[in-house]
Amino acid sequence: MLTRRRFVASATTVLVGAELTGALAQARYSRKPGVAAEPSAGKTVAVRLDAAERPVALPCFGGHALPLWTFADGEWPPLIRLNLGDRLEATLENHLPRAQESSSVHWHGLRLPNDQDGVPFLVQPPVQPGETFRYGFTPPDPGTFFFHTHCNTAEHLGRGLVGVLIIDGDITEPYDADRVLLLRDWQVDIESGRFNPFFTLRGAARSGTYGPLRSVNGTVNPQLALPASGDCRLRLINTDTTRIMQIGVQGADAAIIAVDGMALPPFPLASWTLGPGMRVDIVLRAPGEGRIARLIDQSPPGHVELAHFIGQGVARRMTAFDPAPLRAARIAEPDMKSAERLNFVFQSSESGQFIGDASDAQGAGIGALCLSQKQFWTINDRAWPDRDHARLPAPLAVLRRGRSYLLSLKNDSPFAHPIHIHGHSFKLLRSNQQKTPQHHADTLLLLPQERAEVAFVADNPGDWMFHCHIIEHQESGMMGYFRVS
Ligand code: C2O
Ligand code: CU
């Protein structure tokens, strides 16, 4: 059995290596990202987000209607689409069917003013059933984002309370198609058509509870028609609470053009690890008329086909695949000479290890350890005090506004953790395990025992969550916040 001590020992013997560059990957493509898009004053888009229970028979539910919690009638997932420079005015109405089931909307990945960030207690009061809350902001960056609530999230997300937010204004030339693919599992017992528990002790103490039903836009392995031989932009969003996917494409050329909404020089997609909360935009050269290409999760033990694409119509492009890049992101460049270094260690608590090691995590012994608070995970040895946000601990760190920080992140556990920062996008500098091009991200997947370094300018004042996006980990302690002042 692997103990924590052994993990610490093995982790410290590995030096942070591999400086990340794109050189190896970019060789095949010629074009660099275009100049950053500046927002210019646009229109105001008003939307109503009516959080309520609605029976929905998604195609993947095999004829059952499940009591989803959604933000709107009609199509699931809902999509909000703006141009860069447009102002969004979103009114959340909480009509969730349970007394005290509070809510708020977090705009995942957006570098917003702090009071728009939607974290209850930290930046706004929780919105109780029957109450409303108005958000109003102008997103600063174009790209692929999503939104979700930020309390009891395992259940809220688990029941479908999520939406897609696209900010247009990042293309340098039109693609032949632009599609959103929302990837997620459902915690559904397919026979009975009922939800399984969204939070389990065993899952929370290990890699999370996997849903047995996988889907793309609410369908199992949908067939999507794309213009034959067209360069098609696919926006992949992993909104699952748990599952980490290794995205690949079979039967077509494909390139990554953005990570977490932020452009990077296009590079060939071989296999891209997409954890909960992460997005990747790819350009795929669609197959010829009537031909098929496949989107695959290459994670062991076997390949799972997530969706497949069929070419339709006359061939759009004859030239060799050299995908158009997006416009660069406008993220401030950290000053590495003056950057202050902060170390963060992500690991399990004693009780988390006990449960993780137990063969029957629901069984005896749990009471004896007094696990009613379910603190299984820590950041720098501190667990968030409760499953909700009501009892705020002190910040993990107080950062000076405008200053550059280098975060050294160390995963001292045998499970991966997608670590998400609010209100900022950090730059991945190096990792001892992953060889990806340098890029910006709001969520960095830390593999088991991985050490990575990221840097960012703390240029957005306020209190910003910093947590694992495996929601059962988040809700069992792996959550904290930075104060930028
Ligand atoms: Cu998408 Cu704090 O999360
Ligand atoms: Cu985690």
Closest ligand to 165 CA? 1
Instruction: Tell me the pLDDT band of 359, cut-offs 50, 70 and 90.
Output: low
Pocket flag, ligand 1, residue 467 (CB < 6 Å) = yes
DSSP tag of 157:
H
Is 370 domain-assigned? no
Centre of ligand 1 from the C-alpha of residue 109, in Å: 8
The tokens of 242 are what?
Answer: 């748990």
Task: Identify which of 32-46, 388-402, 404-418 has the greatest average pLDDT.
Answer: 404-418
Pocket flag, ligand 1, residue 106 (CB < 6 Å) = yes
Number of H helices, E strands in the chain: 6, 32
Is 241 domain-assigned? yes
* Structure confidence at residue 93 (pLDDT): 98
Is 398 domain-assigned? no
The environment of the single-atom ion ligand 2, i.e. residues with CB closer than 5 A, is 417, 468, 470, 473
* Structure confidence at residue 373 (pLDDT): 60
Higher pLDDT, 104 or 389: 104
User: Percentage of residues in the chain with pLDDT exceeding 70?
Assistant: 91
* Structure confidence at residue 5 (pLDDT): 38
Pocket flag, ligand 1, residue 451 (CB < 6 Å) = no
CA–centroid distance for 126 within its chain = 22
Pocket flag, ligand 1, residue 420 (CB < 6 Å) = yes
* Structure confidence at residue 287 (pLDDT): 98
* Residue 148 CA, closest ligand 1 atom number: 1
The tokens of 252 are what?
Answer: 């077509």
Pocket flag, ligand 1, residue 156 (CB < 6 Å) = no
Instruction: Provide mean pLDDT across the span 310-316.
Output: 97
The tokens of 65 are what?
Answer: 């209607």
Query: Which residues have CB under 8 Å from 302's CB, separation 6+?
Result: none
* Residue 146 CA, closest ligand 1 atom number: 1
Q: Dihedral angle at the C-alpha atoms of 461, 462, 463, 469, nearest 10 degrees?
A: -60
Closest ligand to 471 CA? 2
Mean pLDDT of the chain: 91
Pocket flag, ligand 1, residue 457 (CB < 6 Å) = no
Centre of ligand 1 from the C-alpha of residue 469, in Å: 6
Closest ligand to 476 CA? 2
Residue nearest to atom 3 of ligand 1 (CA): 108
Q: Would you put residue 121 in left (φ > 0), alpha (ψ -120 to 50) or beta?
A: left
Pocket flag, ligand 1, residue 389 (CB < 6 Å) = no
> For the chain, how many structural domains are there in total?
1
Closest ligand to 444 CA? 2
pTM above threshold 0.85: yes
Q: Report the C-alpha gap between 447 and 449 in whole angstroms.
A: 6
Q: Is the pLDDT of residue 14 over 50?
A: no
Q: Is the pLDDT of residue 365 over 50?
A: no
**At 189, which helix (H) or strand (E)?**
strand 188-189
* Structure confidence at residue 193 (pLDDT): 86
Instruction: Tell me if 421 sits within 8 A of 445, measured CB to CB.
Output: no
The tokens of 297 are what?
Answer: 């999760």
* Structure confidence at residue 368 (pLDDT): 43
The domain that holds 275 is classified in CATH as 2.60.40.420
Centre of ligand 1 from the C-alpha of residue 205, in Å: 20
Centre of ligand 1 from the C-alpha of residue 453, in Å: 20
DSSP collapsed to 3 states, 202-263 = HHHHCCCCCCCEEEECCECCCEEEEECCCEEEEEEEECCCCCCEEEEEECCCEEEEEECCEE
* Structure confidence at residue 186 (pLDDT): 98
**Structural domain span for residue 199:** 4-31+173-312
Pocket flag, ligand 1, residue 265 (CB < 6 Å) = no
* Structure confidence at residue 27 (pLDDT): 55
Pocket flag, ligand 1, residue 422 (CB < 6 Å) = yes
* Structure confidence at residue 167 (pLDDT): 98
Residue nearest to atom 2 of ligand 1 (CA): 465
Lowest mean pLDDT among 13-22, 212-221, 415-424: 13-22
Q: Is the pLDDT of residue 30 over 90?
A: no
Higher pLDDT, 359 or 3: 359
Residue nearest to atom 1 of ligand 1 (CA): 108
* Structure confidence at residue 370 (pLDDT): 43
Pocket flag, ligand 1, residue 465 (CB < 6 Å) = yes
Is 365 domain-assigned? no
Q: Is the pLDDT of residue 369 over 80?
A: no
Q: Is the pLDDT of residue 335 over 70?
A: yes
Express each pLDDT in 112-167 by its tens digit.
Answer: 999 999 999 999 999 999 999 999 999 999 999 999 999 999 999 999 999 999 99
Closest ligand to 416 CA? 2
Q: Is the pLDDT of residue 13 over 90?
A: no
Pocket flag, ligand 1, residue 279 (CB < 6 Å) = no
* Structure confidence at residue 307 (pLDDT): 98
* Structure confidence at residue 364 (pLDDT): 39
Is 284 domain-assigned? yes
Centre of ligand 2 from the C-alpha of residue 484, in Å: 24
Is 50 domain-assigned? no
Instruction: Tell me the pLDDT band of 360, cut-offs 50, 70 and 90.
Output: low
Q: Report the C-alpha gap between 47 and 74 in whole angstroms.
A: 14
Q: Is the pLDDT of residue 23 over 90?
A: no
Centre of ligand 2 from the C-alpha of residue 453, in Å: 17
The distance in angstroms from the start CA to the end CA of the chain is 44
Centre of ligand 2 from the C-alpha of residue 173, in Å: 38
Is 339 domain-assigned? no
HSE toward the beta carbon, residue 29, CA cutoff 13 A: 23
* Residue 109 CA, closest ligand 1 atom number: 1
Is 295 domain-assigned? yes
Instruction: Provide mean pLDDT across the span 349-361.
Output: 72
Task: Identify which of 25-29, 129-133, 388-392 has the greatest average pLDDT.
Answer: 129-133
* Structure confidence at residue 11 (pLDDT): 34
